[in-house]
Amino acid sequence: MDRRLVLAAALGLAAAAALPARAQEVAKIGLILPMTGPFASTGKQIEAAVKLFQARNGDTAGGRKVQVILKDDGGTADVTKRLAQELIVNDKVVAIAGFGLTPLALAAAPLATQAKVPAIVMAAATSTVTEASPFVVRTSFTLAQVTVPMAEWAARDGIRKVVTLVSDYGPGIDAEKAFTEVFTKAGGTVENLRVPLRNPDFSPFLQRAADAKPDAVFVFTPSGVGAQFMKQFVERGLDKGGIRLISTGDVVDDDILNDMGDAALGVVSTHHYSAAHDSAENKAFVEAFRKAAGFRPNFMAVGGWDGMQALYAGLDATKGQGGQALVDAIKGTTWTSPRGLLTIDGATRDVVQSVYVRKVERKDGELWNVEFGSSPAVKDPVKAAKAP
Ligand code: VNL
């Protein structure tokens, strides 16, 4: 036989032998979440969504079996970092994912860069998170993205004087800045208050807010904390004082909204997801989620669901390859999520999505954030302002 033919046959054999071996190799995903501690509701929501995604979409992508390894960081950045390291080095994961809060995502980002392992941020929402590593892809949102439409709505609705009250760290500061910039440009006046992230006592800040006699208080607290805020808002009598409450959707999060009671009725907020979103995709999602998990999905669940969607689409495109190829494959991807149409921005790796204006209403005996307005295809305004 011609030598070249022998060589080609040998190469063909080698390729054929290599393929099934790769195909059998499990693609592991390291899912790092706060399953315990003050932000455990975020972990619980995302875990349930990831499980549901695999139950409904199967456990293979790009010809590889996808295995999710769940780790609990308790909401502590040092632990997130150690777990990310172990998952990358020992388990040889194709991607790390999760990241319930900004400091946790920022702790893992340098490891993603070093190891060239994609990090799918399903929750953390400070604008800078995607800039911490070229391997970060975000499927949640940014605070600036959802806050700008709130400030615009407030100005349009005749609100003139606002006290902002935010948790004192990355996303809260982004929310405060975005609200203040847009609202003052529209002619309003703003006073800024910040409350500690850990063990927050809102009472003294609510007293100061009441003393300032604003038309409205604008609030950001991270997911899960809104119930505590609402309780103190009522205890201080602010719900009866003629001061309106406006917020990002994090405060009236679907996980806790139904337990807030009548005080939450009428609260206007802006966000990228409401469990009441009126679409066929969302109805199917909420129904399946409630059935499987036993509780209502919130925006964290949708961040987790779409994180899996991004990973599966990416793995399909690379035929199971991770690393830079996987990040590149995810960039620019578009799909219909329970939240609506979603695109991963090819330049920033952030989510481009609709932001909705919603009002808390009682329907069929439950409280819901009912959407009544929307801005389509909103980019992260912080990065949009920096773009050339
Ligand atoms: C963050 C942003 C966390 C929004 C949240 O809940 C949230 C963050 C835990 O970037 O830390 O609702």
Per residue in 251-303, pLDDT (tens digit) is 999 999 999 999 999 999 999 999 999 999 999 999 999 999 999 999 999 99
Q: Residue 50: name the closest of 146, 142, 125, 139 by CA.
A: 139
User: Given this model, what pLDDT does residue 24 score?
Assistant: 61
**Do the Cβ atoms of 227 and 259 come closer than 8 Å?**
yes
pLDDT in tens, 107-132: 999 999 999 999 999 999 999 999 99
Alpha-helical runs (H) found in the chain? 3-24, 40-57, 77-89, 102-115, 143-156, 170-185, 203-211, 226-235, 280-293, 299-318, 323-330, 381-386
* Coil, helix or strand at residue 246: strand
Predicted confidence band at 388 (pLDDT cuts at 50, 70, 90)? confident
**Residue whose pair of structure tokens reads 């004087």 in the numeric block:** 161
**How many angstroms is it from 152 CA to the middle of ligand 1?**
22
**Do the Cβ atoms of 359 and 369 come closer than 8 Å?**
yes
Query: Which top CATH class is 144-271+355-386?
Result: alpha beta
Q: Which residues line ligand 1 (CB under 6 A)?
A: 39, 42, 100-102, 123-126, 170-171, 222-223, 250
* Coil, helix or strand at residue 76: coil
Predicted confidence band at 21 (pLDDT cuts at 50, 70, 90)? very low
Residue closest by Cα to atom 4 of ligand 1: 222
* Coil, helix or strand at residue 362: strand
List, by residue range, all CATH 3.40.50.2300 domains of the chain. Answer: 11-141+279-349, 144-271+355-386
List, as one string, the DSSP characters of 199-215. Answer: S---HHHHHHHHHT--S
Which residues, in sequence order, are CB contacts of 275 under 8 Å at separation 6+? 254, 282, 286, 296, 297, 298, 368, 369
Query: Which top CATH class is 11-141+279-349?
Result: alpha beta
Q: Please state the pTM of the whole predicted model.
A: 0.94
Q: How far apart are CA 248 and CA 120, in angstroms?
A: 23
Q: Residue 257: name the closest of 212, 291, 224, 284 by CA.
A: 224
Ligand 1 probe mutation, 223, 255, 300, most atoms within 8 A of CB: 223
